[in-house]
Amino acid sequence: MQTEIIVAGFGGQGVLFAGQVLAYAAMDHGLHVTWIPSYGPEMRGGTANCTVIIADEEIGAPLVKHPKAVIALNRPSLDKYEPLVTAGGLLLVNASLIDRPVAREDVQAVYVPANEIAERLGDKRLTNMVMVGALLGATGVLEMNAVQESLKAHLPAKHHRLLPANYQALEEGAQIARETLAQAA
């Protein structure tokens, strides 16, 4: 099994952190992983994306032309990566900021009002974890508890007070993805 994931959005949306969380969880649970960040020179407000590959055997190359899954946190990211997702792949769309439907009919699309969920949970910075949860719920690439354990292990102790909200964001994103895919089946 090998899953290629691209997380993309604006700088400041937690794009790179979302990829790191996935990479740490995979690594902590004995899987092979690559994580490659990319961001514009202006950082916050500029473009940012990262590529994460999770596999149960050695990864041949860290570059991905046609990912199996894309988390698009903003419209420019959807516009850029929708054509690249492999047929039968998954597009996780932040419906809070993206005002158009996925045009392709050969991919699964899951629309997640991630910003609204994050704000309801009390912190807009949870948007990225809502979307990571949606990825977990849609793909099963990692177990929820693996991601939660890795968050706790790698988040500095001074931020552990934020763990319950992050766990809730993950769970809510996963639930939306599961419900969406069940309705589509």
CATH of the domain at 35: 3.40.920.10
Q: Are strands 2-10 and 69-72 parallel, antiparallel or unpaired?
A: parallel
Q: How far apart are CA 137 and CA 172, in angstroms?
A: 9
In the prediction, which pLDDT does 44 show? 59
Sign of CA dihedral 7, 13, 16, 18: negative
Q: How far apart are CA 63 and CA 60, in angstroms?
A: 9
Phi, psi at 138, each rounded to 5°? -85, -30
In the prediction, which pLDDT does 38 show? 87
The enclosing H or E element of 51 equals strand 47-55
CB 28 within 8 A of CB 149: yes
Q: What is the pLDDT along the chain (185 residues), one digit of tens a residue?
A: 899 999 999 988 899 999 999 999 999 999 999 999 987 665 556 679 999 999 999 998 888 999 999 999 999 999 999 999 999 999 999 999 999 999 999 999 999 999 999 999 999 999 999 999 999 999 999 999 999 999 999 988 998 999 999 999 999 999 999 999 888 77
In the prediction, which pLDDT does 25 show? 97
In the prediction, which pLDDT does 98 show? 96
In the prediction, which pLDDT does 46 show? 65
| pTM score over 0.85 | yes
Look at the chain and report how many structural domains it folds into: 1
Q: What is the dihedral of CA 171, 174, 178, 179, to 10 degrees?
A: 60
For residue 139, what are the domain limits?
A: 2-184
